Structure 1
Amino acid sequence: MTLIELDRETPLEVELGRRPPLAHHRRTGLLLAVALLAVLGGGVPATGMCWRLLGVITTEEFPDGQVQMTGGQIYTVDTTDDEPVVTAWAPGDGLTRLWSDRVPVAMAGDDNIAPVNSVSVRQSGEVVLLTAGFTTTAVDAATGRTRWTSPISVTVLAGNTTGVTVERVFRPGTEYDQDSGDPGPLYFTATGEPHTEAPIRTEVRGIDLASGGTLWTATPGGSVNVDMVAGEPAAVLITASSRLTLRDLRTGAELRAAGLPKLDGKGPSSGTLLGDVALVRYEDAAGQIAYDARTLTRLWRGGSADAVPADPVDCENLLCDGAHGDVRVLDPRTGRTRWRVQEDVDLTARAGYVLETDAASGEPVRLADVRTGVVRADLTGWTGDVPGTADQPLLLWRAGKAGTRIFAVVTPGHPEIQRLGTAAKGLDDCDSDGNFVLCRSATGLRVWAYRI
């Protein structure tokens, strides 16, 4: 493990004496640079790191402690009233309160939906989407002014100004009587109402996130899965019972389509997207087929899946097979085994690597190469990791003196562990994004900047 100390608990001792000639410093610096290149292979992170407390948001300002980060801003959520209140904070030299806004839980007339206990906050350019229950409200990111409201959830793709809604249409008379308690499969509308039959069609719409206007509508038959495909152009992948369709996210134009076969007489039951690979799974564990999400070219077919193991591994944003003690990490594009882990660990894609954590304690164990499983960093001695997305830096922490916490970071593409700094004692759960770390405490929310 390579540990780059960016701050120290005690100052370095300096030996006083005669100053060596400048040429001596040049030779020493050159030798040091060569040594670093030899050891790190040129892997010194290009992004500078810092550790600076920006401020504290008190518990009075977010009573129930919900907080989210998106688009470089912090959003606290108060759900103690019937309508949640979202407050936006801009981190900079300190923490600047931008606006507070009440979020409607349901459209007018929908009086059967109970108040929610959480709100999803997502930012897309100049618009912030606030989803409470099934209702999405778009507000101006700078002012909090409401732009438009949708009665159903809106799916977004980072960096794009077009979202997608999915609404299932059912045959009249198939509403389920919840007081009856009758058994059987149930199918749900976009607002949660149960039906006893599958939908006759699904309406997939492209939504302009600035105005809320509908840009296009596609109406595949039956129930479908909808995934957003990054790249150029951004696209929507629709998985139906017999067909894959790729549509342009902005215009809705059909880019490609491919028929889906049956396996052992069974049709597809679900579809998921893993990177640039679409996985189509079949009914009754008949197997799965992988397709390139862009070209819709068939990549491989997997055999009948075994029963769910008694001790399944948590494998996030990776394709795995097996249980704790013997997990195979698979190549999504070939279905072949890349490497095995014969320990009781869970796996998560983080900072361009695979983070292995102890299945019992949750403590980080190591960072492994995603293709080979070769250990890139030994994480022994670190107590936990701070939640974040797969493409963001990995934040680690361990206990310091007198109840404090020591933080470190691993940036994508650079497996060296870089020490950041020490935080005050009394911290609870922490979250992070690409630039900030926030931790809850009894007195409020403490926010640090860690990336320049």
Structure 2
Amino acid sequence: MTVIDLGELRGDVEPDPPPRPPRAVGRPLRVALAGAVALLALASSAPLVRPASAVMDGRLGREVRIAGGRLYVADPEMPGAGGTRGVTAYANPAGAGSALRPLWRTSAPGGEGLFQVLEHGGFVLITGGGGRDGGMVETVALDAASGRQRWRQPGFPVPTVGGGLLLSGGGDDETADPLRVVDLPSGRPRWSAPVDRGRTAHHYRGAEIDQVVLIPESGRIEVRDAGSGAVLRVGDTRPGGYPSSVFAGDLLLVRANSGVGGDYRVTAYGLDALDRRWELALSANEYLEECGDLLCVGGREAGLSALDPATLRPRWVNPRWQRFVAARGGRLLVAADDRVVAPDLAVLDAATGRTIAELGRWELVLNQGPDEPLFGGRRTREGGLLVAELDPARAVARWLDVLPDVVEDCYSSGRDLLCRRANGTHGWRRLPR
């Protein structure tokens, strides 16, 4: 019998067994156990239904990505290809161990370096370039059904409301790169604005940007409609240093260095009027981010604390955990910042900070978006990878499968999981629900 070391999973454990029954009921209990063993033996003789899966050859220089239920495979640049590489889209198989079915093949930018795939609005956006020698990063838009190329332009893509696409950061000179919004189907320009790379913030409506904030070094802040480029509001934050900004609900949080040992300050502005709400000083080893309906401050020394976004009033402190991971259903998935590959994870009540369940050590699997399923991996004694779905709302880590030959680089899209295997190939698996 093979024994797999699953470690400890507090928070989703069976209750303690009842006291040992008296002798009078011992024989009936043994009969029942014998019947259960017989049923298990019958069940084990039935065919085992495995999740749909496939393997992609891992030749030297090949890049594999997964998006929208498909595999996208980029092969190294061939001589005379002019800075492009071939990309093939594959449909995922229906059964375990089935062959991948190619849908179409095209050329994409970047003979080496970045390879990024995004499916949106019936199109596939492939971004590449910026290899070892730098150079331009470009995005090509293709019809998802046929692979026919629609347009090719510099920049990294982010969808906007109204069928647009924001492109930024594609040129060799980062400080001169304009922020541009184009029409997704045609690539025709809608509007553009000069901005220093890294000094913008995006306000999302679902998976699309509806407002863009530009913060040049002068401190004159602009809030623009993402669809039309119209300036909605203008303010003067005078943040100093090298400001960056993020959104948290209806607040714009502008971060600027204070010049003392890496310490910095965060200033909150109301999005509607760009009025200053509050300011918070943080040390270099602390961070501030949105966690559900609250703001979380994390740090190795003080643990994790939650603040009211409107007043900055402290709600709670939990010194056991230092890092926020995700929010679901009024609960927070958090981690202990002990600088290990697979950190300890737990679920907290968002309102009180009380620890509801400790889930044990799990290596978080990268995914495409904040609303996608959360998966974690844990090494077994035999060297395989136990995969679990991390569910903060139910406060459990639900075991799904054991992958015996996975070594690293797991990535998920929806319920599709792509991992590198020990022999250099890539294994794709659709995880069960």
1:34 corresponds to: none
TM-score by length of 2: 0.70
> d(CA) in 2 for partners of 1:135 and 1:327?
41
1:3 corresponds to: 12
| 1:122 to partner: Cα distance | 1.5
| Aligned amino acid, residue 324 of structure 1 | R
Q: 1:317 to 1:85 in 2, by over 3 A?
A: farther
Q: 1:292 to 1:74 in 2, by over 3 A?
A: farther
Over residues 425-452 of structure 1, what are the superposed CA-to-partner deviations in whole Å (9 max), with x where a residue is unaligned? 3543311122112221115222221245
> d(CA) in 2 for partners of 1:257 and 1:131?
32
Equivalent pairs, count:
364
2:3 corresponds to: none
1:54 corresponds to: 53
> d(CA) in 2 for partners of 1:275 and 1:64?
42
SS for the counterpart of 2:147 is coil
| 1:131 to partner: Cα distance | 1.5
Q: 1:304 to 1:412 in 2, by over 3 A?
A: closer
SS for the counterpart of 2:340 is coil
1:136 lines up with 2:145 in the alignment: no
1:356–1:368 contact (8 Å) kept in structure 2: no
SS for the counterpart of 1:403 is coil
| 1:155 to partner: Cα distance | 2.9
1:69 lines up with 2:72 in the alignment: no
1:249 lines up with 2:245 in the alignment: no
1:4–1:418 contact (8 Å) kept in structure 2: no
1:384–1:396 contact (8 Å) kept in structure 2: yes
2:17 corresponds to: none
| 1:213 to partner: Cα distance | 0.8
1:368–1:374 contact (8 Å) kept in structure 2: yes
| 1:332 to partner: Cα distance | 7.1
> d(CA) in 2 for partners of 1:448 and 1:375?
33
1:87 corresponds to: 88
Q: 1:127 aligns with which of 123, 148, 166?
A: 123
1:151 corresponds to: 154
Q: 1:305 to 1:424 in 2, by over 3 A?
A: closer
Q: 1:230 to 1:345 in 2, by over 3 A?
A: closer
| 1:147 to partner: Cα distance | 0.7
1:51–1:420 contact (8 Å) kept in structure 2: no
2:128–2:138 contact (8 Å) kept in structure 1: yes
2:270–2:277 contact (8 Å) kept in structure 1: no
- Dislocated runs of 4+, deviation >6 Å: 220-224, 314-317
Q: 1:99 aligns with which of 104, 107, 112?
A: 104
Q: 2:268 aligns with which of 259, 282, 290?
A: 290
| Aligned amino acid, residue 281 of structure 1 | R
Superposed, which structure 2 residues align to 1:216-235 within 5 Å? 217-219=191-193, 225-231=199-205, 234-235=209-210
1:313–1:346 contact (8 Å) kept in structure 2: no
| 1:222 to partner: Cα distance | 7.7
> d(CA) in 2 for partners of 1:400 and 1:301?
48
1:270 lines up with 2:244 in the alignment: yes
Superposed, which structure 2 residues align to 1:216-365 within 5 Å? 217-219=191-193, 225-231=199-205, 234-240=209-215, 241-254=218-231, 256-262=232-238, 266=240, 269-274=243-248, 276-282=250-256, 284=258, 287-293=265-271, 295-296=272-273, 298=275, 300-306=277-283, 308=284, 312=285, 320-321=296-297, 323-331=299-307, 333-334=309-310, 335-343=312-320, 345-349=322-326, 353-365=332-344
1:449 corresponds to: 430
| 1:162 to partner: Cα distance | 0.9
Over residues 11-49 of structure 1, what are the superposed CA-to-partner deviations in whole Å (9 max), with x where a residue is unaligned? x96738xxxxxxxxxxxxxxxxxxxxxxxxxxxxxxxxx
1:15 corresponds to: 35
> d(CA) in 2 for partners of 1:337 and 1:327?
13
1:377 lines up with 2:357 in the alignment: yes
TM-score by length of 1: 0.68
Over residues 47-98 of structure 1, what are the superposed CA-to-partner deviations in whole Å (9 max), with x where a residue is unaligned? xxx97132111224xx435333333333233345553333322225154322
Please list every run of 5 or more consecutive structure 2 residues that lacks an aligned counterpart in the other structure: 1-9, 15-31, 37-48, 130-136
